[in-house]
Structure 1
């Protein structure tokens, strides 16, 4: 496959959170938004949906950039077997937080690395316990942070951490949107050097 460090690396995402997280690994990359239908399939589990969509996003970009290495990722929250996605607005976000207060929600963050006929993917689970807080507190939070582009309506990297009672995960950045421990492993398995060699970056 040649020197992987000099081959294009593309993040198949429009998420600023995933871009910021991937930048931590020190690899040069560009981000391209994939055109993928994110609706669940009939009788599809939440974890299976996240993994399928991560692979689909990577495949969509790999198809138009066949020489590039592509990273796809997707996240979905599971509340008693029901997928909880991005709210998009205040009213839907408040409804999500009202339903999740005092509850344990399982977030599934899947990531895929793809290139030509190579593909590897993994799903990382995070267990989040939400505090049982009154509507007034939830409303104040939403007006402060406006987390309408986040599945579950709470940014754990921001003020949303105050809504949570506990977080259990083997990969601390998974809840933000990209599991860097898992991704680093996938990239190393594919042949990438992380941290990248200084010679490769010159």
Structure 2
């Protein structure tokens, strides 16, 4: 990748940064200024795709020659968006509600370049079945791994995996917040193949 093809991750998430590092492409990180308020009647998958594109475009306006990656994730409980809890009390309540249920984590992904208007956006769903959990099990989990910054309050890459019965996905890193298989496909389409010599 040459200098004119600078890559920016429009995210403050350390999880997304760590995932993108796996592709061995040089990139920088920039926080997007984006209103994440859901629109009336907006379905979780639509919200995830809209926000991923909005984040990428917000950063791309400041660096029009760069390729900008945006991502967003919304937990989808039968059409209802479930966001980040923000504190332990809400995380406890959220996990009690998700106990024994199936949630689809909708991960939006976008790649844009403002200079020529190039943009692609998709949503990668991950179906997650939560085990039936007691309030004490949830409290113990949150004491060990306070997942207040994750939609659905469970970090599958850590102890949160113990909360789950199953995960169904064609793109396993989507659940952590950045679907690398889909991203690789879009990067190749843009001429940014991580395996190109």
In the superposition, the TM-score normalised over structure 2's length comes to 0.97
> Which shifted more, 159-168 or 5-14?
5-14
Does the CA contact (< 8 Å) of 1:5 and 1:192 recur in 2?
Answer: no
Between the aligned partners of 2:84 and 2:72, the Cα distance in structure 1 is 12
Once the two structures are TM-superposed, the CA of residue 63 in structure 1 deviates from its matched residue by: 0.5
Between the aligned partners of 1:138 and 1:50, the Cα distance in structure 2 is 27
Q: Does 1:195 align with 2:195?
A: yes
Corresponding residue number in structure 1 for 2:182: 182
Does the CA contact (< 8 Å) of 1:13 and 1:31 recur in 2?
Answer: yes
Name structure 2 gaps, 5 residues minimum. Answer: none
Corresponding residue number in structure 2 for 1:87: 85
Corresponding residue number in structure 1 for 2:168: 168
Corresponding residue number in structure 1 for 2:94: 96
Corresponding residue number in structure 2 for 1:110: 108
Once the two structures are TM-superposed, the CA of residue 5 in structure 1 deviates from its matched residue by: 3.8
Name structure 1 gaps, 5 residues minimum. Answer: 198-202
Does the CA contact (< 8 Å) of 1:55 and 1:72 recur in 2?
Answer: yes
Q: Deviations over 1:43-70 (max 9, x none)?
A: 1011000000000000000001111110
| Pairwise CA RMSD | 0.8
SS of alignment partner, residue 73 of structure 1: strand
Does the CA contact (< 8 Å) of 1:26 and 1:196 recur in 2?
Answer: no
Corresponding residue number in structure 2 for 1:133: 133
Q: Deviations over 1:55-87 (max 9, x none)?
A: 000000000111111000000001121100111
SS of alignment partner, residue 143 of structure 2: helix
Between the aligned partners of 2:59 and 2:136, the Cα distance in structure 1 is 43
Once the two structures are TM-superposed, the CA of residue 122 in structure 1 deviates from its matched residue by: 1.0
Give the aligned length: 194
Runs of 4 or more, structure 1, over 3 Å off, are none
Between the aligned partners of 1:193 and 1:150, the Cα distance in structure 2 is 30
Once the two structures are TM-superposed, the CA of residue 196 in structure 1 deviates from its matched residue by: 4.6
